[in-house]
Chains A and B, each alone.
Chain A
Amino acid sequence: AQRVTQPEKLLSVFKGAPVELKCNYSYSGSPELFWYVQYSRQRLQLLLRHISRESIKGFTADLNKGETSFHLKKPFAQEEDSAMYYCALSSPSGTYKYIFGTGTRLKVLA
């Protein structure tokens, strides 16, 4: 079964410290993986997706098929990064379902 696991409910870091939000998935095939972010009082929005290999707001994420992980990283956290982050998976074909993890709340402390 498809599953996305985000082991941390809450991650607190100090401003300027590195950030890593963990995401592991289970899927027998080649999934498409995304990170979504929800800032306070805003709608969920796409942060980045693995196929694009881009850096958005200083965040990057690398798909590691061997470890079935898609961790989100940023070298220097900013206070405005405080938000709820969701890792999500979609299968390229078949079930037509986007599966989300339980989310990690990131708090960046001054």
Chain B
Amino acid sequence: SQTIHQWPATLVQPVGSPLSLECTVEGTSNPNLYWYRQAAGRGLQLLFYSVGIGQISSEVPQNLSASRPQDRQFILSSKKLLLSDSGFYLCAWSVSGMTPTIYFGEGSWLTVV
């Protein structure tokens, strides 16, 4: 069966520091991968999605970036965090070319102080 792992689960970072969140999917190949963010009390905002290695689509222009160095690995990064980057970050996957049901990882809580 397919599983998705995301880490770290929680982190507290100072303003201006870098960020790296990592996500891996097991049990499937060539998945579509997604990064969502959920600010406190808000809905899910799609940040990036990827249909293949090196193929990244950005939804929101900001100081975040994403990379997909391997088929089942998705990384969210920032060079300098802002206070507004605080939130709940969710990695998700779906089967490529099939019904677009997506499944979420456990999420990463980021607090920028």
A binds B: no
**Residues of B that sit less than 8 Å from A by CB:** none
